[in-house]
Amino acid sequence: MYSGLVGPLVICRKSTLEPHGVRSDVDQEFALLFLIFDENQSWYLEENVATYGPQEPGLVNLQDETFLESNKMHAINGKVYANLKGLTMHQGERVAWYMLGMGQDTDIHTVHFHAESFLYQNGQSYRADVVDLFPGTFEVVEMVTSNPGTWLMHCHVTDHVHAGMETLFTVLPQKGKP
C-alpha cells in the first residue's frame, strides 16, 4: 500500500453503468484516498534514498526519528498541499465521491467540503458537509453542486491539515451560462 499499490473497486447495481463503464445516474465521479503515506514502509525506500539522497554512502540514518517522521505524507490520493488536480465540475451537476480511508490508528479522518453539502446513506438519507473515515473504511457521498468557485476540501484533524491533507475542487458556472 505504501508503495502506491492501492485504489478503489467500485461495484454498482445492474443497469447503473453506461456501456463504457461510467455511472448513468451521475455527471462526475471522483475517488479520493485519505492516507498518511508512510514512505518508511515503501518497498522503494532504500532505492529512493540511494537515488535522491546525499551521494555519500551512510549519510542517511534510516532509523533516525526525524528522518522517519519526515517520510510520513499526509495526503489525498498521494498529493499534499492542494497539489491534487482535476477535481472540476459544473454547477448543477450530480457528483459521486468515493471516499476511502486506509492506514493505521492515526488515519482517522474527518473530510470537510467547503461551500457544498452532500447526501449520504446510513439506514436513511442525511445531508452534511463533513464525512468521517476510519482505517479500512469507505463512504460514498453524492452532491448536486450549487456554488461556483474554487473551494477547499481537507481533513479536519489539526495535525493532518497542517501537514498537507488538503486539496481544492472547482465548481464552474452552469454549462452554457457565463
Per-residue model confidence (pLDDT) at position 12: 87
Task: Note the pLDDT tens digit of each residue in 62-74.
Answer: 999 999 999 999 9
What are the structural domains of the chain?
28-35+76-172 (2.60.40.420), 39-73 (no CATH)
Q: How far apart are CA 22 and CA 18, in angstroms?
A: 5
- Whether 98 and 30 have beta carbons less than 8 Å apart is answered as yes
Q: How far apart are CA 78 and CA 70, in angstroms?
A: 15
Nearest to 145 by CA among 177, 114, 100, 99: 114
Cell 463504457, residue located = 20
The answer, as to whether pTM is greater than 0.85, is yes
Q: How far apart are CA 97 and CA 10, in angstroms?
A: 11
Share of the chain above pLDDT 70, in %: 99
Say how many CA atoms lie within 13 Å of 50 toward its Cβ.
Answer: 4
